[in-house]
Structure 1
Amino acid sequence: MSQQSSRYRWVVVVIFFFFMLLHQTDKLMIGSMQVPISETFGMNNQQWGWVNSGALIVATLLYPIWGYLYDRYARAKLLALASLIWGATTWLNGIVRTFPAFLATRASTGIDDSSYPGLYTLVADYFGPSLRGKIYGILQLAQPLGYLLGMILALMIAPMIGGWRSIFYITGSLGLIVAALIFFFVKDMPRGKAEPEFEGMAEMQTFRFSWAEVREIFKKKTMWFIFLQGFAGVFPWNVITYFFFAYLEKERGYDANGILFTMA
């Protein structure tokens, strides 16, 4: 690999890192703003649950669809589209003035939440087995950092710049910028290019969906254990992410500094 190509793939890693960092910030910071958002729209806890469940349901339904698209079409362009959707729907979150409209626009943010599989497969084609684990580790670092950044924006910055709507405008705008960066600077790679075993082999140009292969996946016991592990972990994590901030503020009387220190 030439020095120029080596430098370029690290540029891609930086772009993807900021994609994941800012996407996690945008996705998770809403829990930190439960109180001001609920006060704006007069929401109770049940309605707040609908708001967050809507995005999760949309993401769940679209995961297999995004997976199919990533297998069939250019992954870089699809990632740019996901970032564009993220930016646009977050902007709509800040613009709307009624609860039904906020519920609908927040649910629409789940459209792009299913975009990570394409990112990981593209990274796998940029880096061979000897570096791939390190790259995944670097990218995964963006998730807790994004969570922390979201709390800082929601708890510290939002009150200084006009409230929660301003934060959505900021993160939505950043999503649009990242979409442009991915669209213009990230190139798709031949599938399997970084695998030593596939060196010299032609890339498969056609893709056909097979229900038989899907059924084979679900016959693997290991997959069911992975599903169950993730399923069990979702419940406490979602309570912490979407409800615990308001509990600390309203029931325990924590101020913004106390909440940030506790949750960080």
Structure 2
Amino acid sequence: MCPPRAGLPTVAVLSYINLLNYMDRFTLAGVLTDIEQYFEIGDSSSGLLQTVFICSYMVLAPVFGYLGDRYNRKQIMSCGILFWSAITLVSSFVPKKYFWALLLTRGLVGIGEASYSTIAPTVIADLYVGDKRSRMLSIFYFAIPVGSGLGYIVASKVADLSGDWHWALRVTPALGLLAVFLLVFVVTEPQRGVLERGSERELVYTSWVTDVKDLCSNYSYILSSLGFTAVAFVTGTLALWAPAYLFRAQVVQGTMHPCTKATCNSLDR
């Protein structure tokens, strides 16, 4: 059983990684107009960056959920963080003529992030029960809007300061290394279900097909998942296009110069 004192540091580290996770996810949104100019593409092509990411994330999330129930969760999360951090760094060096390579890297990043987002909440759930579990999970999920906002701010600011949007993709990989260090040396993985079942040995491991059948028979779970999917669709769309929309609105109003240089999100008037 995980020592009580290990709970708060574990939640703090997992929340930091979750913040970093969403910060990386919306980094491209903060420099989307720069990307369109650099690769000479339109909105239809740039929108594929998020589509490819979400598709790979959606397909692999159930797989990592299955693996997280049966194998060492810290190792899976650590490998996933290292993977998406490395791929994000590689994506910052994609040549101008190879936009398809940037699409490929975003799909791979989705795989890495799915390995963390599906498993980390289960660690917190195994540390606390009742009201404390809800409070700690709320802290963990509060990192989502904060990280998303930081993705916009950090990406656009780094692009402005460096004069090159590629540097915006090199911030989160460095922070990812710190995340892995903290995950390995600070986070203590509790036994699965020990607080509610008494011992991990009492857990009954079933096949993936059996798990899916049980979930499909839970109508509350199905309806909640469909509702959250609708919310994620709307908020995800707004999150991706809001910075570009606001930039273009200012250009139309004459308060911002058109995109004619290396960085399009500059605040210079």
Return the TM-score normalized by structure 1.
Answer: 0.87
Aligned residue pairs total: 252
Mapping 1:34-113, distance limit 5 Å: 34-97=32-95, 98-113=98-113
Query: Using a 3 Å threshold, how does the CA distance of structure 1 residues 255 and 241 change in structure 2: closer, same or farther?
Result: farther
CA distance in 2, matches of 1:10, 1:234: 28
Shift of 1:215: 1.6
RMSD of aligned Cα (Å): 2.3
Q: Deviations over 1:97-131 (max 9, x none)?
A: 12121111111110123222211111111223241
Mapping 1:115-154, distance limit 5 Å: 115-154=116-155
Q: Quick one: percent identity of the two aligned structures?
A: 25
- Structure 2: runs of 5+ lacking an equivalent: 258-264
Q: Which residue identity is paired with 1:34?
A: L
Q: Does 1:32 align with 2:33?
A: no
CA distance in 1, matches of 2:229, 2:182: 34
1:235 is matched with which residue: 229, 233, 238?
233
Shift of 1:88: 0.8
**Larger displacement relative to structure 2 (231-240 or 110-119):** 231-240
Return the TM-score normalized by structure 2.
Answer: 0.85
Query: Using a 3 Å threshold, how does the CA distance of structure 1 residues 222 and 255 change in structure 2: closer, same or farther?
Result: farther
SS at match of 2:75: helix
Query: Using a 3 Å threshold, how does the CA distance of structure 1 residues 122 and 157 change in structure 2: closer, same or farther?
Result: same
Kept in 1, the 8 Å contact 2:24–2:172? The answer is yes
Query: Using a 3 Å threshold, how does the CA distance of structure 1 residues 203 and 129 change in structure 2: closer, same or farther?
Result: farther
Shift of 1:202: 5.1
Kept in 1, the 8 Å contact 2:215–2:222? The answer is no
| Deviation beyond 4 Å, 4+ runs, structure 1 | none
Shift of 1:252: 4.0
* Aligned counterpart, 2:262: none
- Structure 1: runs of 5+ lacking an equivalent: 260-264
Mapping 1:112-261, distance limit 5 Å: 112-114=112-114, 115-195=116-196, 198-199=197-198, 201=199, 203-204=201-202, 207-253=205-251, 255=256
Shift of 1:239: 2.3
* Aligned counterpart, 2:8: 10
Shift of 1:193: 2.0
Query: Using a 3 Å threshold, how does the CA distance of structure 1 residues 210 and 242 change in structure 2: closer, same or farther?
Result: closer
